[in-house]
Structure formats: C-alpha cells, structure tokens
Structure 1
Amino acid sequence: MKNTAPYDPQSEARWVPEPDKRPGRTAFQRDRARVLHSAALRRLAGTTQVVAPMRSDFPRTRLTHSLECAQVGRELGAALGCDPDLVETACLAHDIGHPPFGHTGEEALDQAAAACGGFEGNAQSLRILTRLEPKRFAPPDEPAVRLAPWPGRSVGLNLTRAALDAATKYPWARGRHPADPGSTKYGVYGDDLPVFRWLRSGAPDGRKCFEATVMDWSDDVAYSTHDVEDGLQAGHIDPAALRSAEERAELFKIAERFADAGEAEFAEALDRLRAQDWWPAGYDGTARARAGLKDLTSQLIGRFCLAAEQATRARYGPGPLTRYAAELVVPRGVRVECAVLKAVAVRYVMQRDEQAQLRSRQRVVIAELAEVLLNDAPHQLDPVFAAQYEEAEDDRAALRTVIDQIATLTDASALALHARLVP
C-alpha cells in the first residue's frame, strides 16, 4: 500500500470553522465518523438497491452497497496515494441522497419537484451533507450565514471541502453538463449553489477531483458485481442463457446505456469473463455454490480495481495522486466488461414483470404523497421540515421542503405514511 500525501489547508477547511474535540484525529477521520454516524446513512438500510428491502434475507440495500463501495474505494484510493479516510467518506456518502424506492422514487420525485427545479439523488446528497443532516449551525455573525435563506442555518455535517468535493459525482448544476447539456445527471440544486461554489473553489470547471473518480469507479465495480451475485443467488440469472444468440443480442442493447461500444466488443467482453475459471456454471444454493459466488465477486472486484490501478500508475508513475493532480485511468476493455455485468442485472433482475408492476405502484405512492403533503403543509411534516416550510421565502422553497421530507423516508415509512394520509 502506497503512502498518502498530506492535503493542504484549503482541502481540510470546513464551511464553518470549528475546533476538534479530540486532537490527534485527521480532518478526514472526523469526516468519515460524521457520515458513518449520521441518520441519513442509517436510513439507507431501508432503501431499495435493486429489489425492495426485506423481501428476502440476502439482497443488498443501499446501505450494504455503500459499505461495500467504501471498502473497495478505501483500498483502491490508498493504493494510489489518496487519503483512505477521505475516499471512504466519499463512498459512504455517495448514495446518501437516494429517496425511497431507489431510482424509481428519484424519477417520481423529479416530476413532483418540477416547479422547484427537479430532483436528483446526487444533488440531494450534497443538500443532506450541507444542510439537512443537522450537526453544526452557523452562528448569526458567521459569514456563511449570508449564504442561507434563514439566520443561523444548519450547515449539515460541516465536512471538509475535500470530502464534499470527493462525494460530488457530477460537479455541475442542471443543464450545465460540460459535454451534454440535456443530461439528467447533476450534483447541485440552484439554492445550494453558494456552498457548491465554496467546495469547488479552485477546481477546474466541470472536472471531478481524483478522489471522486476513485469513488465513482468503486461504485460501478461494487454494484455491477454484487447485483449479479444477488441475481444468481435469487435464481433470476441463468449463466447458460448467456450462450444464446438471441439473449446476447438483447443484453448488448442494454449494455449500450453504460458504455459506448458495439455488439462485437460487448460479446468479446462477455466471453472473456465466461472463460475465467471462476465464472459460475450455475447456482444450486449449496455451501460450495455460495462460496463460488463469493469468489466470483472477489475475482471481479480484484480484476477491475487492479486494472485501474495499473493503468493509472502507468500514466502518472509512482507517488501519491490526489485532488486535481491526476485522473483515474480505467482500460476500455474493463469498462466494457463492467457495462456487460450491469446489463445482466438490468435484464434478468430489474426488468422482471413483478419488478415493473412494483415500480408502477411506487411511482403512484410518491406522486400522491407529494400532493397530499403539499396541500396540507405544514401539518403533516416532521417538525424540522414544518419549521422550514413556515420560513420558506416563496412557493419554490416551500415545495422543495416537501420534497426534502419525502426524500428522507425509507421504503417502509413512505408506504406507511401513504397508507395513513391517502384514502
């Protein structure tokens, strides 16, 4: 494991300065502890990853995915010279803004929030970290207070600039994607731009910091491999089907969402994986088969991370790589392999008929919750959101508060609230 470089004072700065109650810890160790102990992270235990939580004992939730992503990112980041606590913090926080029902809930909330600028899970993550998860407040005479719509505002977990930057997968506002203005992916809402500009101070426009690219690849590695593992264990994926020309053609159409490649390149990538000794022939639920699944994920994670580490070192040489000194290099063939695995999970797990029916119901739940809560606000809102609703300066801010309330719910609490409020 390589030594990590020190980070400069600007990287370790917090939006509101504060003393350390326990001298001896690094700034990034404090960041990691704050995210790890946050209610927002715990909530992910009840939030959909691929299938709804509690429908069986085995599949992952957003929380277990975040923990696994953090382990992958910590080791990869450390090998490349990043501060491991900084990368782990970013990985733990990367999905913290996901609403109930995962991407289905995200899409439904985006429609409900159209009048206040839409909803995006990554932008919501920044909002949680810098506003909604209360740990620190700006004193009335603090300069940061001028960035807020109300005096003495919450500054969330008050993480360091580097930690917030590392957790920002899409460092631009809606419609400001550097290559695709029509992209639905963005990392900040309009009313959170002040803190965004602060955390991005000195950063190249539209460019992720190195730690964010490590987090992003670790996310791809974790969910592409683990979603396939979950699908095999649940019996939704039959490895033999991947030999069918018809199935492969459908699979490669889906893979085009995740990588700019053609059918021949996807086929080569899938066949490279299928040719490995550790690739499963099937799954029958025995202890040996379960061990085989664990080996599958270990082999895939090692394959994808080692390829990125070696390619990045080949370009930049030895020594710590941090902030804007480098960009993570992932070989094209490995990215295509990862895209194929994502497509396998989409086709055989997410596109099942029962999942489509469930997602349809979930969209209705979110839409009806947004309507009834807005119509009756602030009476059915939690105290923290009721107070913010009362202090909202206009209709957009009031609607955003209602959206924030819904976004903090778990799958189960969203269903329970809907059952209570909607006849």
Structure 2
Amino acid sequence: MDPRLARRGTASRTEGGPQGLAAAEFRTDLERIRFSPYFSRLAAVTQVISQGAAGQVVHNRLTHSIKVTAVARAIAVRLASGPDGALLERLGGCDPVVVQAAASAHDLGHPPFGHLGERVLDRIARNRFGLADGFEGNAQSFRILTALDVHDLHGDGLDLTAATRCAVLKYPWARYGVPDPHPSAADPAPRGAGPGPEAHGSGKFSAYSVDVGEMLAARSAYPRIAPWQQTVECSVMDIADDIAYSLHDLDDFHRAGVLQHASVAAEFRTWTRERSALAALPSAELRADDRRPGRSLELLRRRLHAKDGWIVDDDAFATAVGRVATDLVDGLLAVPFDSSRAAERAVGRFTATWIAHFEDSVTVLADPPVRAAHVVLGRQAWHEVAVLKFVHQRFVLDRPDLAMFQRGQAQVLSSLVGDLDSWLSDPMDAPRAPRRLLDLVELAADGYRTLARDRPELLVHPTGETGATADDLARWARGRGILDYVASLTDDRAVDASATLAGHAARLWDAGSAL
C-alpha cells in the first residue's frame, strides 16, 4: 500500500484501485476535519481582533481558514497540471484534497485571542508548569489531529492519513531534540527554526515532545523529503496562508478605517524619495527613531537581507514597494471606505487581482535552499508579500490601542489558567473539575509516562536539564492538560470561564455553561 495512505488506527479501504483509493482516503481526511468541533470553534476565535472589538464583521480563524483552503486548492490544481508534475510525484505528490485538508486544519490549534493567546500560553507553560516546549499553535494543531480530537469509539485523534498529517507540519521538528541534528543549531536555520525569544530550542515547531512519535511515523512516508523540509502539499498550504494573511486582514482594517492613507503614504513616499540616504544610516539610528516615515521600511529591507539572502534583492524590494504604493496606498486607501457598493467593488478587485498574481507566481524547486521549500513564490512576489505583511504589522499590530486591548485579554488567560491549576491542585475539590479537563490531564499523563519509558532524553526542563521525577511528570501532565483545555475554548467562553472562576458570574447555570 502507498505509505502516504497509512493511518494509525484503522485499515484503509481497498476498492477502486490505487487512484480511487487515494481519492477516497484523502476525502475522508477532509470530511473528518471539517466535521470536527475544533473546526467549528474557529468561527469564534480571533484572527487579529474580535468582531466585538471592531464593531463590524471581520475575519475570524474560520473565514481565514476557508480562504486559505481556496487559495491552496487553486495552487495545487495549477501545479498538478503544470510542467513540474513528474518532479512533484517523485517528491511525494501534490494532491489538491490533501492540500485542502491541511489548509482547513492549519489553525485548529490557535487558542483564544489568536497570536496574543499563543504567546501568553507559551510563557505560562514554561514558567508555571516547567514545560520546556511550552505552547505553540502549530504543535497544538498537530496534537488536536493526532491525540485530542476523536472520530469514533476507539483511539485518540482523527486517524488521518500520513499525507494529511505531514501536510500540517509547517515546521517538521520539535522545539528541541528531534530531529538530530536539530535545525535550531543550523546556520542558516530553516525558516522558523531559529531560537525563540524567551526559551532554548526552536522558536517555531510542529510537535510537542509527547507527540514526536506521531510526527516521525507520518514523516517516514516521505523518504525523498529532507528532515527539515516541508512536504510539497505542506508548502502549498504554507504559501496560501501567507497570501491570505497578507491581504485579507488589510481588507478588514481598511473597512474599519484603521489604515489611514496619510500615514501609510508618508512611509512609502519617504522611503522611495530618500532611499539612498536611509540606506546610509546606521541601524541603531533607524531603530531609535523608527516612527519617522520611511525608516520602518528601511529596517524591513535590512531584516530581509539578514534572514533570506537566498532570495532578497534590492531592486525587487524597490519594485515591490512601488507596486504596493500604487495599488494599496494610492489606489485602495486613497478613497475612504464608506460601505458603498463601489467601495466594496474596490476591495474585491484589489484582493482578487493580487491573489491571482500570487497564484501565477508560484514555482517548484527540485533542491531548495534550507530557508525555502519545494514550492515557493517567485522572487518578485515574495518581496511583495513581505511588504504587504509589513503594512499590517506596522500600521495595525503595533498600534497602542490594540496593545491595550490585548493586555486585558492576556490577563483573562493568565487568570483562567491559574484558577484551573489551583482547582486541580486541591485534592478535596479536584474531582468536581470539568470532566473534559480531567480527561485531558489523564491523556497528557499517559503521554508523559510513555515518553519516560521510550524517549527519556526528551524529558527536558526549561533550564535545559534532563530527567524527571514522578512529581515532574505529574506537574507536566497537569499543565499540558490545562493548556489543551484552555486552548480549545472560544474567545467568549474563555472570558466567561475566567469570570466564573473569579466569582464574577451573575447567574449560576449560565456561568456553569462557560466550563
């Protein structure tokens, strides 16, 4: 049997011949993901800001995932019928349904409040529970698919094919230890594998230590893919995610009036006009006064050079700045959004044009550099995505009003985790904790006991020390179970649960439903 079709818990169907078999198996994966409550939950999880905070309809994790799926499928279909078909097959294939499944699943692990929640839970995991691999949204997605979710009466996880499991491994390594040599020690390191800002090991990764067995088993189906490389189907999903992220959040904040034409235009026009003078300034001087127009774009250009010398090019960067300035700054943003049909047409035209441009720019590499994948954006499009994402970061994510709002969300998660930990640490009252929470702690305990037996070298403390006592294993299991539980909540349920445990709920039975 094709190893890409291997499942852990159930036998694959055999009717219809090899091609029909693959189609049926991959369609089963897609349906299991889309019927999952974890997938439905994404409708109430923040993409950047919640609808309540914006006062209007904005993208959430579900609408983002649906759009990533559409872009990913379009790219996969184009590649499958293109001149690189034979190369793609040698590398393991590029099935559009596998790509759809991976795109549907890629954000399942995002906790309440999006990336802000991810950072908060990572810090709590390491500092409160001593979990050296902390919390990471990509690793949480893989854990949901392989351990936390269920699809029948037996076993854990959705029992997906190896192809789909591999297609969600954007960073196919653990935070530390696996594989060996570990990519965080490489120079240059793969994208995402550099040391995290607050902990040893890789900043981004796709499997916790308790789940590395699942990751390695799935990856064994792709012997032609290097240990640090994504599968072809994963790289298509990853590109589609970048494309959607670079465009759709800009739509939201243009509609909300957050992206102000004057400030964005000043940044782009100043950099274009003073490009040579800005290039001559020391980086320290640029960072010290980075709110002055033009300086943030120049810092972006330097970051791209520092990280991605394999593709960065100053002329391509300047061209990208010019095109974004023409289409976004002097085009879409030049006319304030007024909810008219003409304004909606302008947004739709802008987004559709850029998506088509990016889809047409995708290319295949037989032997990619360490910071690239087998499927990549062309050089010019790569720079344009970087510039579009810069607009989002500089003029939305760095705003003080958003930061203040997020500080409150961080407090909600910190209080919720602390109260749940106190509850489970109370021997008299722990049995009355939510049934699902207790199940998740026991599931994590099984995982750590198995790890202690089979891979004890992966029992690592945040300090880097190895080895674990029975108390360590119990603490880690309680922490991982609580994190699995909190990460499965929607934004609103996290707020309600935090208020309930703090004694602020007004009505008993409404309050009880929060947990």
- Under TM normalisation by the shorter chain, which class is it? 0.7 to 0.9
User: Aligned equivalents of 2:352 and 2:297: distance in 1?
Assistant: 23
After superposition, give the CA deviation of every residue in 1:277-328 in whole Å (9 maximum; x if it has no partner): 99423233221111100111111111111111xx33xx67xxxxxxxxx811
The one-letter code sitting in structure 2 at the alignment partner of 1:13 is A
1:5-404 equivalent positions in 2, closer than 5 A: 9-18=2-11, 26-55=24-53, 56-81=55-80, 82-114=94-126, 115-116=130-131, 117-136=133-152, 154-175=155-176, 176-177=182-183, 179=189, 180-182=193-195, 183-201=202-220, 202=223, 203-244=225-266, 245=270, 246-253=292-299, 260=308, 266-276=317-327, 279-280=331-332, 281-285=334-338, 286-308=340-362, 311-312=363-364, 327-377=374-424, 378-379=430-431, 381-390=433-442, 392=445, 394-404=474-484
State the AA in 2 paired with 1:237: L
Separation in structure 2 between the aligned mates of residue 155 and residue 52 of structure 1, nearest angstrom:
32
Using the alignment, how far apart are the partners of 2:256 and 2:375 within structure 1?
Answer: 34
Greater relative contact order: 1 or 2 (C-alpha under 8 angstroms, separation 6 or more)?
1
Q: Secondary structure at the match of 1:275?
A: helix
Asked if 1:416 is matched to 2:432, the reply is: no
* 1:72-94 deviations in Å (ceiling 9; x for gaps): 00110111112211100000111
Alpha-carbon separation, structure 1, partners of 2:217 and 2:324: 44
Equivalent AA in structure 2 for residue 185 of structure 1: K
Cα gap change, 1:103/1:276 in structure 2, threshold over 3 Å: closer, same or farther?
closer
Cα gap change, 1:160/1:282 in structure 2, threshold over 3 Å: closer, same or farther?
A: same
- Identity over the aligned pairs, expressed in percent? 33
TM-score of the two chains, using structure 2 as the length reference:
0.70
Q: 1:334 to 1:220 in 2, by over 3 A?
A: same
Answer whether contact 2:441 2:481 (CA < 8 A) is retained. Answer: yes
Any stretches of 5+ residues in structure 2 without a counterpart?
Answer: 81-93, 177-181, 196-201, 271-291, 367-372, 425-429, 450-473, 504-515
For 1:49 and 1:128, the matched residues in 2 are separated by 19
- Give ranges in structure 1 of 5+ residues lacking alignment: 1-7, 139-153, 317-325
Residue 20 of structure 1 and its aligned partner are, at CA, apart by 5.2
Cα distance change, pair 53–157 in 1 and its aligned pair in 2 (3 A): farther
More displaced stretch, 51-60 vs 38-47 = 51-60
| Aligned-pair CA distance for 1:21 | 12
Amino acid at match of 2:351: T
2:294 counterpart SS class: helix
SS at match of 1:171: coil
Distance 1:239 1:22, change over 3 A: farther
Change (3 A) 1:266 1:213: same
Alpha-carbon shift at residue 388 of structure 1 (Å):
3.7
Deviation at 1:353, TM superposition (A): 2.0
RMSD, aligned CA: 2.5
8 Å CA contact 2:125–2:483 kept in 1: the answer is yes
Alignment: residue pair count: 388
Amino acid paired to 1:50: V
Deviations 1:179-234 (A, max 9, x none): 24513100000001111111111342111001111000000000111111111111
| Higher gyration radius (CA) | 2
Residue 327 of structure 2 contacts residue 350 of structure 2 at CA under 8 Å; is this kept in 1? no
Distance in structure 2 (CA, Å) of the matches to 1:380 and 1:297: 50
